[in-house]
Amino acid sequence: MTRIVYVNGRYVPYSQAAVHVEDRGFQFADSIYEVCEVRSGRLVDEERHMARLKRSLGELQISQPMSEKALGHVMREVVKRNRVRNGLVYLQVSRGAAPREFLFPGDDVLPTVVCLARPGSPAAIDARAEVGIAIKSTPDIRWQRCDIKTVMLLPACLAKEEAHKDGAREVWFVDPDGYVTEGGSSNAWIVDGDGTVITRQLGADILPGVTRATLLDAIGEAKVRLSERPFLLTEAYAAREAFITSATQTVMPVVRIDGRAIGDGKPGPVAQSLRQKFHHFATISSA
Ligand code: PDD
């Protein structure tokens, strides 16, 4: 349960937490966010999340609302006040509230900052990873700056809703040439017949996942063969293994794509071993 939310300098009860009706996040999705894993009351890969937040703000020319240190303090405080041991902390920064007008408001309009924390169940996520998840593919109808972590998530919501009806937990977006870009809220990976781990290279068409970056460190250390390149959906169907990565699930094995079993239809050894190793490579910040 979320009890206390940080909104623009104040820690307020959840039921009273609110932003202005003319917040640009609400009217234009003119807003960016981060989701950071909380593990044993600590933040996972805080520095990488902060670096991405800074980059997202810069790409949209939204001013940094406060120093990274101060934002880190807010996140930790929200985690503490909500007594979250394991779960996530969500931080959103919009361009602020101003009478609706497409052009950016003046410098007197300050960014809106919201931060909330929510407990999760590591046991439930581990149980899901034991059996793996199903994926449904869908055309990638998103904009061409998916490298910026904006709250403009409607294509993902629509696609996930459809996937859910088919019993799939995540979607994989596919570009017009048949290549998988990424998941609705995760990065996409496969392992080919030779044991090479394949994931799309960074670019404007995918989010530079923090979990992805940390996993690349783990893969480098484990001396697993890696290829950062686009892969076709048909390659994924024929892959030995598949998995997704995100802050909330770390490494999650994929066992079905569009109703087809991947490999033997069970979580693969590469995905399982990388899942086990993940937190050894992540940076866990002090409380
Ligand atoms: N989503 N790609 C997309 C489109 C995402 O929304 C996410 C994360 C990722 C994985 O990034 P990271 O490893 O930094 O979590 C990739 C978060 C978890 C969300 O929207 O809830």
By C-alpha distance, which of 268, 273, 277, 270 is closest to 133? 268
Residue with tokens 């048949």: 178
pLDDT of residue 2: 82
Q: What are the pLDDT digits (tens) for 29-40?
A: 999 999 999 999
The token pair at 117 is: 């924390």
Domain 4-120 of CATH type 3.30.470.10: yes
Q: Residue whose CA is closest, atom 16 of ligand 1?
A: 186
Q: What is the mean pLDDT of residues 79-90?
A: 98
pLDDT of residue 287: 66
Q: What are the pLDDT digits (tens) for 164-174?
A: 999 999 999 99
CATH 3.20.10.10 domain position(s) in the chain? 125-281
Q: In 10 A of CB 99, how many CB atoms?
A: 7
Q: Say which of 54, 136, 149, 277 is annotated catalytic.
A: 149
The answer to whether 210 touches 52, Cβ cutoff 8 Å, is yes
Return all residues near 98 (Cβ < 8 A) that are at least 6 apart. 22, 24, 105, 109
Residue 13, φ and ψ in degrees, nearest 5? -60, 145
**Pocket test residue of 186, 217, 245, 249 for ligand 1, highest count of atoms within 8 A of CB:** 186
Confidence of residue 226 (pLDDT cuts 50, 70, 90): very high
pLDDT of residue 131: 98
pLDDT of residue 223: 87
By C-alpha distance, which of 236, 149, 224 is closest to 192? 236
Is residue 247 pLDDT above 90, yes or no? yes
The token pair at 121 is: 């169940």
- Average pLDDT, rounded, for the chain: 97
pLDDT of residue 217: 96
Residue with tokens 């959103």: 92
Told to judge if 149 belongs to the known catalytic residues of this protein, a careful annotator would answer: yes
How far, in Å, CA of 275 to CA of 130, rounded? 11
185 lines ligand 1 (CB under 6 A): yes
pLDDT of residue 1: 83
Confidence of residue 83 (pLDDT cuts 50, 70, 90): very high
99 C-alpha vs ligand 1 centroid, how far in Å?
A: 31
SS3 state of residue 57: helix
Among 3.40.1440.10, 3.40.47.10, 3.20.10.10, 3.40.50.720, what is the CATH number of 125-281? 3.20.10.10
Q: What are the pLDDT digits (tens) for 253-273?
A: 999 999 999 999 999 999 999
pLDDT of residue 175: 98
Element (H or E) spanning 182, and its range? Answer: strand 179-183
CATH 3.30.470.10 domain position(s) in the chain? 4-120
51 lines ligand 1 (CB under 6 A): no
Say what the pTM is.
Answer: 0.98
Q: How buried is residue 160: exposed, middle or buried, by Cβ count under 10 Å (0-12/13-18/19+)?
A: buried
By C-alpha distance, which of 175, 181, 189 is closest to 254? 189
DSSP letters for 233-282: HHHHHT-SEEEEEETTTEEEEEEEETTEEPTTSS--HHHHHHHHHHHHHS
Cα–Cα separations (whole angstroms), residue 79 to 71, 238, 263: 12, 42, 40
Q: What are the pLDDT digits (tens) for 191-203?
A: 999 999 999 999 9
Q: What are the pLDDT digits (tens) for 137-161?
A: 999 999 999 999 999 999 999 999 9
108 C-alpha vs ligand 1 centroid, how far in Å?
A: 32
Question: What number of CA atoms fall less than 13 Å from residue 252's CA on the CB side?
Answer: 25
